[in-house]
Structure 1
Amino acid sequence: MAHLRDDSRGQLLLVAGLALALVFIGLALVVNSAIFTENLASRGETAGSSGALAARAATEANAGTAIEQANHYNPSAPVDAFNRSLRNVSTQTEALSATSGTLSNVTYAGHRNGKRVSGAIDRTNNSYTVADSVERVSGANGTRGLVFNASDLPGESTPLVVKVNDTTATGDRNSWRAQIWETTSDVHVKTFRNGTSASENRTERCSVPSSTANRIEVTAGLVNGQPCDALRRNDSGANFWFGNGAGDEYDVHFKNTNYTTGDFEMVVYSGGGPSILLTTLSDDAIYDAEVQFVYDGPDVWYNTSVRVAPGEPDA
């Protein structure tokens, strides 16, 4: 076995050190190159995704309008009408996107049945039940599109009341209630959310400038087009969306209707077999629908299913 002298050992260590240094430099270049490439890819993807997300939002809005029109104008065959409208939406979307070098389309993927209840507010009956045993949709609500179009609202002493309560509860326990009234210049909403004990009870208010034709979108959380904390989450995060805390199966009631002039409409999920008590005002409808959206752009390819339920509470 050969013996190395001190100077040979030093040369060997120097050579080994230089070799390791070259290896580390090479590794650093590879890692930096990968990070740089990944950053460029993510930047390109982010830039491309903004167009895809904007197109998806527009598609969801257009599909929502198609559902509303199908339910309103074609109650005997709302699904057929919705599919026809959806094909028009897809054709228009493709035509518009093609001008920017992208291809996109939307197709029907399914729906859940509902009942659309609409008509004049009954001034001859001070208190009545609109629907019994409405079941929630998994992960969402079971009622959407509850809107009052009122030319005349009562005062604070006798407000219009919308009450949603757990089917198995009594009194105001496990209920959500909204009081709606008008003063000379404003529409006011006061919401009560009751739990199983007093410590769970919450109250919220909002006021919005009134109109000659007030539009209260109860489930969408809007009054005359403006957000209302009493019908959605307030600044502290407390949830006041329609029916919050009323259980998985609930009833919907109107009170003090003899002081209100106008009409209303709403759509409830019918898969659970709710009892719609105002049968003369009830039609078959689409509760919600699922559409498949595909976007093929220069920077991103996006394929996703989109649930469409216009006017549903964000509970």
Structure 2
Amino acid sequence: MAHLRGSDRGQLMLVGALALAVLFVSFAFLLNTAIYTETVASRGTGVEAVDVVGYGNAATEATAGTIDRVSVGGNDSYDSIHRNVTAAIGDWDDGTARQYASEGDAPSTEVASVTNGTRIVQNETRNFTDASASEDWTLATDVRTRNYTMAVEDGGLAGDATNAFNVTFDNGSATYSVRMYDPGSGVEIRTTDGDGSVVGTCDRPGPSVRIDFAAGTANGSSCDALDFYRTLEGDYEVRYANADNVSGTYSLTASVRHDDLAGSNFVAYGGDGPFRSTAIYSADIEVVYRSPTVYYRSEVTVAPNAAEVAA
């Protein structure tokens, strides 16, 4: 076996140390490269996710706005408002596609189907009786509703709950009656269930109160008397009682065709009293997002200002 001199051992140790140093540097470089690559990939995925979600939200908002616009434009035929919705979303899709194309992405939105509806409206301030001045009457049966709002004036209300105007929602398994009256301090809103138990109350100062059922608000702030609306499942009946003990306006969109509502309950379109007009209740849209690294497809049901509960 050869014997190494001291100087040879020193040189060998130096070479070994240099080799280890090169190895450690190479390992650190590879590790940093892997971390950097993973970070870039994660950032890319995050950016894509933001783009997809943002586009989907924009498509939903554009569709909701379109549904509302065509539904209040007049008493047109259903074929006409279907064409208007499809054309408007097509125009929006063309415009946004050009914007995204500059980034190499190709999103698209199209209307897959629509659900016909009917707007029930009273624009003139008066009591809530029907066209025949009936105090107790049914607005719609076997429906869901959206965009249901009321503006009620305290001067036309009864002074107690017994004789109060009330609107009742009945789906066959649950019943909720919303009473509105003025005990002398403003508008009291009280909801009872089918057993007569109070499930929520709130009060607002007069002279008028705006109620939004889907938002669960009275004059813009939360009212627990309206919480039930967001728990109603399936279709239900909507009816008024003591409708001569209230004064104001209201509007809603029901998920049935114009001809499915009792015509005798309504005045002519645009008249002084409750009237009905053709509308779109909801639309199903197909949203697709394509990019060099992502393919996303979803079908979304858009029903503006509807309660988000299982149908």
- TM bin, normalised by shorter chain, reads 0.5 to 0.7
Change (3 A) 1:290 1:38: farther
1:288 and 2:282 are equivalent in the alignment: yes
Cα offsets for 1:100-130 (capped at 9, x unmatched): 7654332111112222222245355433211
Cα offsets for 1:11-57 (capped at 9, x unmatched): xxxxxxxxxxxxxxxxxx9xxx7x99888755543442123212222
1:129 corresponds, among 138, 147, 161, to 138
Cα offsets for 1:259-296 (capped at 9, x unmatched): 3332222222227x854453442223222111112234
Q: How far apart are the structure 2 equivalents of 1:191 and 1:100?
A: 53
Aligned residue for 2:244, secondary structure, equals helix
- Give the corresponding residue for 1:114: 117
2:255 corresponds, among 266, 269, 278, to 269
Q: How far apart are the structure 2 equivalents of 1:51 and 1:164?
A: 40
Q: Give unmatched runs, 5+ long, in structure 2.
A: 1-29, 268-274
- Give the corresponding residue for 2:200: 204
Q: CA deviation at 1:146?
A: 1.6
Kept after mapping to 2: 8 A contact 1:115/1:285: yes
The within-5 A match list for 1:178-197 is 178-181=178-181, 188-194=188-194
Provide TM-score, normalisation by structure 2: 0.66
- Give the corresponding residue for 1:162: 167
1:217 corresponds, among 209, 212, 215, to 212
Instruction: Output the amino acid matched with 2:136.
Output: S
Kept after mapping to 1: 8 A contact 2:153/2:206: no
Q: How far apart are the structure 2 equivalents of 1:130 and 1:37?
A: 62
Q: How far apart are the structure 2 equivalents of 1:83 and 1:122?
A: 35
Aligned residue for 1:270, secondary structure, equals coil
Q: CA deviation at 1:188?
A: 4.5
1:231 and 2:234 are equivalent in the alignment: no
Q: Percent identity?
A: 22
- Give the corresponding residue for 1:150: 152
Aligned residue for 2:225, secondary structure, equals helix
**RMSD over equivalenced CA pairs, Å:** 3.9
Of structures 1 and 2, the larger Rg is shown by 2
Kept after mapping to 1: 8 A contact 2:189/2:225: yes
Instruction: Output the amino acid matched with 1:117.
Output: I
Cα offsets for 1:136-160 (capped at 9, x unmatched): xxxxxx2222221335563662544
Q: How far apart are the structure 2 equivalents of 1:211 and 1:98?
A: 53
Aligned residue for 1:79, secondary structure, equals helix
Q: How far apart are the structure 2 equivalents of 1:119 and 1:204?
A: 26
Q: CA deviation at 1:309?
A: 0.7
Instruction: Output the amino acid matched with 1:73.
Output: G
Instruction: Output the amino acid matched with 2:65.
Output: T
Kept after mapping to 2: 8 A contact 1:221/1:313: no
1:260 and 2:266 are equivalent in the alignment: no
- Give the corresponding residue for 1:309: 303
Q: How far apart are the structure 2 equivalents of 1:53 and 1:122?
A: 43
Q: How far apart are the structure 2 equivalents of 1:181 and 1:308?
A: 35
Change (3 A) 1:311 1:181: farther
2:89 corresponds, among 67, 86, 89, to 86
The aligned length equals 259
Q: How far apart are the structure 1 equivalents of 2:94 and 2:185?
A: 45
- Give the corresponding residue for 2:8: none
Kept after mapping to 1: 8 A contact 2:191/2:200: yes
Instruction: Output the amino acid matched with 1:266.
Output: L
Instruction: Output the amino acid matched with 2:289.
Output: Y
Change (3 A) 1:85 1:211: farther
Aligned residue for 1:258, secondary structure, equals coil
Kept after mapping to 2: 8 A contact 1:241/1:314: no
Q: How far apart are the structure 2 equivalents of 1:39 and 1:311?
A: 40
Q: How far apart are the structure 1 equivalents of 2:184 and 2:101?
A: 52
Kept after mapping to 2: 8 A contact 1:86/1:106: yes
Aligned residue for 1:150, secondary structure, equals strand
Q: How far apart are the structure 1 equivalents of 2:117 and 2:240?
A: 20
Kept after mapping to 2: 8 A contact 1:241/1:313: yes
- Give the corresponding residue for 1:235: none
Q: How far apart are the structure 2 equivalents of 1:227 and 1:251?
A: 24
Provide TM-score, normalisation by structure 1: 0.65
Q: How far apart are the structure 2 equivalents of 1:111 and 1:49?
A: 28
Q: How far apart are the structure 2 equivalents of 1:222 and 1:74?
A: 28
Change (3 A) 1:255 1:305: same
Instruction: Output the amino acid matched with 1:205.
Output: T
Aligned residue for 1:80, secondary structure, equals helix
